[in-house]
A and B are shown apart, each in its own frame.
Chain A
């Protein structure tokens, strides 16, 4: 089986990797590029732990082939904070204790960021529906939803000040 050469952009950096034709983007990110922030929960599109954006579109990276990323722009959890500065979503997840084991957290953060990029002021219902494909076996979701709504408020007031 010959490997495929993929040129892509990950978190703004041009990267290249070789992958097998049937290798998922999730495996390529983790095993080829060492970006292990993106998690595998199910591998079948059910849990959202592997959430990334491809060309700005939120997807499950376990349901994308690495080869499909050729020429695309991929954003992962590693690109969320700026150096040591946490993204407001990350800060609010900590403040609200919106994580326990943390396996689901990168997926929730990437998915929530994608929501706030489109809708800076979502209702609770909108947050819950948007995140319906992200499963958490620990927190019971309420703290996650509150953290997202609080982060949205924070980001709106920051935007108003700047």
Chain B
């Protein structure tokens, strides 16, 4: 195995293209565990942290551009992100331990493609876009199109994620991410729900995105759940509709961590709570 720390995206793409087994290293919290257990045996490891922009959170015409190697800890400490996207920040704060958050990245969380990744539903709810560079140039896709199933992404050979882009936040907007785990910390989501809402002057929801994790082979954007909220003041009836739409979108596995029935029910409950929290934040941000 070789270790390479290229200085440019082009050099990284060259390495990824010219080696059969090449693996990107950002935070390494998944990769080093896989290396140790021989689940992966890359010919070359491409450490992207020395590439300009990979470790920075930048203003992006009113939104944010988060470099692919920015750690969860850097996200939870960023005041601007905390104000605009508290739901994404709380999801980042749920990954593993303090030590793991010091290294783990939200892009790694996305690319590792676990159905239970905490930051993925939050990114999807936020309407994040993923900037991907490869031998044929740069493309941008919505976060929900990044993974195709457990451990699988749409990245082609030679491609790597450069950054996540978060859109400009409208006034009276808020987001939230909640997960269910049987303990209080250091666990993997049995169900996760991310909700992002925007309201008009009259207090009516005018835009909504709802995403669920750990209830299907990949995190899902639930359009019917968003539709249940738009045009309402997030009243009880709307929340009930939201829960039903979420339950209908579930296609979970049955395992020791949660049965199909349990995950399906909890998805609706968490989505409701996340919607209420997102609404509170939308109006708290006004003051």
- Asked whether any CB of chain A lies closer than 8 Å to the CB of B97, the reply is yes
Complex-state Cα separation, A115 to B102, whole angstroms: 13
> Chain A: interface secondary structure?
mixed
Complex-state Cα separation, A62 to B185, whole angstroms: 21
Residues of chain B within 8 A (CB-CB) of A134 are 97
Question: Given that A21-B1, A22-B1, A59-B103 are contacting pairs, would A133 and B98 also be in contact in the complex, using a CB cutoff of 8 Å?
Answer: yes
Residues 208-227 of B at the A interface (beta carbon under 8 Å) = none
- Per-residue contact bits, chain B 91-119, to A (CB 8 Å; 1 contact, 0 not): 00000111110110000000000000000
- Asked whether any CB of chain B lies closer than 8 Å to the CB of A48, the reply is yes
Question: Given that A45-B33, A132-B185 are contacting pairs, would A60 and B100 also be in contact in the complex, using a CB cutoff of 8 Å?
Answer: yes
Residues of chain B within 8 A (CB-CB) of A8 are none
- Per-residue contact bits, chain A 51-62, to B (CB 8 Å; 1 contact, 0 not): 100100111101
- Per-residue contact bits, chain A 1-35, to B (CB 8 Å; 1 contact, 0 not): 10010000000000000000110100000000000
Partner of A65, one of B28, B29, B71: B28
Question: Could you tell me if A59 and B3 are in contact, using CB atoms closer than 8 angstroms?
Answer: no
Question: Could you tell me if A21 and B100 are in contact, using CB atoms closer than 8 angstroms?
Answer: no
Question: Could you tell me if B97 and A132 are in contact, using CB atoms closer than 8 angstroms?
Answer: yes
Residues of chain B within 8 A (CB-CB) of A131 are 98
CB distance from A76 to the nearest CB of B (A): 14
Complex-state Cα separation, A58 to B96, whole angstroms: 13
- Asked whether any CB of chain B lies closer than 8 Å to the CB of A44, the reply is yes
- Asked whether any CB of chain B lies closer than 8 Å to the CB of A64, the reply is yes
- Chain A residue nearest in CB terms to B97: A133
Question: Given that A21-B45, A44-B36 are contacting pairs, would A65 and B3 also be in contact in the complex, using a CB cutoff of 8 Å?
Answer: yes
CB distance from B187 to the nearest CB of A (A): 10
Complex-state Cα separation, A131 to B103, whole angstroms: 16
Complex-state Cα separation, A51 to B101, whole angstroms: 13
Interface centre among B96, B103, B185 (most CB of A within 10 A): B103
Interface centre among B2, B73, B100, B102 (most CB of A within 10 A): B102
- Chain B residue nearest in CB terms to A133: B97
Complex-state Cα separation, A70 to B97, whole angstroms: 24
Complex-state Cα separation, A117 to B287, whole angstroms: 33
Complex-state Cα separation, A65 to B29, whole angstroms: 11
Partner of A133, one of B1, B32, B71, B99: B99
Complex-state Cα separation, A48 to B100, whole angstroms: 9
- Asked whether any CB of chain A lies closer than 8 Å to the CB of B122, the reply is no
Question: Could you tell me if B97 and A24 are in contact, using CB atoms closer than 8 angstroms?
Answer: no
Question: Could you tell me if A67 and B5 are in contact, using CB atoms closer than 8 angstroms?
Answer: yes
CB distance from B215 to the nearest CB of A (A): 25
Complex-state Cα separation, A111 to B73, whole angstroms: 14
Question: Could you tell me if B32 and A65 are in contact, using CB atoms closer than 8 angstroms?
Answer: yes
Question: Could you tell me if A63 and B185 are in contact, using CB atoms closer than 8 angstroms?
Answer: no
Taking A21-B1, A54-B102, A68-B47 as known contacts, 6 extra A-B pairs with beta carbons closer than 8 A to each other, sorted by chain A number, are A22-B1, A45-B97, A59-B99, A64-B103, A68-B49, A133-B186
Measuring CB to CB, which residues of chain B are less than 8 angstroms from any residue of chain A? Answer: 1-3, 5, 25, 28-29, 32-33, 35-37, 45, 47, 49, 71, 73, 96-100, 102-103, 185-186
